[in-house]
Structure 1
Amino acid sequence: MPGRIRIIGGSLRNSRLNVPDLPGLRPTAERVRETLFNWLAPVLDGARCLDLCAGTGALGIEALSRGAASVQFVERDAQAARALRDNLGRLKADGGRVAAVEAGAFLQGAVQPVDLVFLDPPFALGMWTGLAQQLEASGWLALPAWIYVESPRAGAPALPPNWQLHREGQAGEVRFALYRRAVPLS
């Protein structure tokens, strides 16, 4: 059965997002989002964001609600992408665009450098390292950029060496971490 989750801060505070019932769809927990956006508060205003493997879009919509200039949502599942578009339209969340395409394929397209990336792929697919390498190598990340990574608690994924851990936490079986991109090592 479809569900609903709540935006927790900003101009859309307490708005509800419709969540389709899809296998593997795992919205980021409210308390994790609250912690993350407390960490991001100093850098969010006017930020250009990329929500890869967006799912419900809760992270990107939360960013728009709290002052991000724009969010490019990327979601490969057509039903989830449609629900995300519907939520953005219903909430009149300007600045959000949805691409219904696989994340790796999207990153091979026209590069638009961003200040903040939400990297939270389906856990079963193990896509963190490949997507992180694409982000780093292709010019998608501004300097400096912030990268949020959500992964299983059992172990942190291999990420580019110039992504410096800023803060991290755990909630249940989930590890969540915020990285800052430094000048790449040559």
Structure 2
Amino acid sequence: MRIVAGTHRGLALASVGKGDAGAHLRPTADRVRESLFNALSGGRYGDPLSDAVVLDLFAGTGALGLEALSRGAARVTLVDDGRVAGKLIRENIAKMRVETLVTHLRCDATRLPATDAPATLVFLDPPYGKGLGARALASAVAGGWVAPGALVVWEENAPQPAPEGFSPLDTRRYGDTHVTLLERDG
């Protein structure tokens, strides 16, 4: 795994091999991440990366949030309570030398604390097929984490319906990964 583009392009991230099933780590492949970020940068959704405040739920290695940071995001909050994920996140933040721009919240993504700094871009990559994505998104909204007009990028094993308060924008398929793009109403 590596940072695909931006100021940290080519930087190798901490490896998890083929993932860690016990910890539900299933890193987004470089080529899927590259395709996804190319779609986000294509202008169809405005400019969601420049100076973005990013929330990465079920962050795993932190690769999605860190890629956004490399491509112009202002700051990133990575949320994952896994022990293995925490170690990988700390390693990757140190490799990028972005400690002042990244916060790692070690908590359950479905039970977020309140914030007064809502995100303009949300990555949601829960363990597939467990219904955790909708719960985490609801928790993020309730805690003030999702700004009106925020773009949500939701990875799952199937396209996801837009929850109340969100409008569907697009769905994309990359192998067995489906990405649903939503916009927060408001």
> What TM-score do the two structures reach when normalised by structure 1?
0.86
* Residue aligning to 1:31: 31
* Residue aligning to 2:160: 157
CA contact (8 A) 1:81 1:99 kept: no
* Residue aligning to 2:13: 17
CA contact (8 A) 1:128 1:157 kept: no
Superposed, 1:34-53 pairs within 5 Å as 34-41=34-41, 42-53=47-58
Distance 2:101 2:113 in 1: 22
Q: Which residue identity is paired with 1:146? A: L
- The more displaced of 13-22 and 143-152 is 13-22
Cα offset, 1:85, TM superposition: 0.9
* Residue aligning to 1:84: 89
Q: Matched residue pairs, number?
A: 176
Shift in alpha-carbon separation, 1:109–1:181, aligned structure 2, 3 A: closer
Cα offset, 1:61, TM superposition: 0.6
Deviations 1:101-137 (A, max 9, x none): 21122x2344431101101111153201211222233
Distance 2:160 2:48 in 1: 24
Look up the SS of the partner of 2:93 in the other structure. Answer: helix
Identity percentage over the alignment? 36
Where is the helix percentage greater, Structure 1 or Structure 2? Answer: 1
Distance 2:58 2:153 in 1: 12
Look up the SS of the partner of 1:55 in the other structure. Answer: coil
How big is the alpha-carbon RMSD for the aligned residues of Structure 1 and Structure 2? 1.7
Shift in alpha-carbon separation, 1:27–1:114, aligned structure 2, 3 A: same
Distance 2:84 2:143 in 1: 28
Structure 1 segments unaligned to the other structure (5+ residues): none
Q: Which residue identity is paired with 1:171? A: Y
Q: Which residue identity is paired with 1:22? A: D
Distance 2:108 2:69 in 1: 22
Cα offset, 1:150, TM superposition: 0.4
Superposed, 1:19-168 pairs within 5 Å as 19-20=15-16, 21-23=19-21, 24-41=24-41, 42-93=47-98, 94-105=100-111, 107-153=112-158, 156-168=159-171
CA contact (8 A) 1:136 1:160 kept: no
Distance 1:180 1:132 in 2: 12
- The more displaced of 141-150 and 77-86 is 77-86
Q: Which residue identity is paired with 2:170? A: R
Distance 1:87 1:180 in 2: 29
Q: Which residue identity is paired with 2:70? A: S
CA contact (8 A) 1:168 1:176 kept: yes
CA contact (8 A) 1:129 1:159 kept: no
Where is the strand percentage greater, Structure 1 or Structure 2? Answer: 1
Distance 2:115 2:133 in 1: 21
Distance 1:139 1:171 in 2: 31
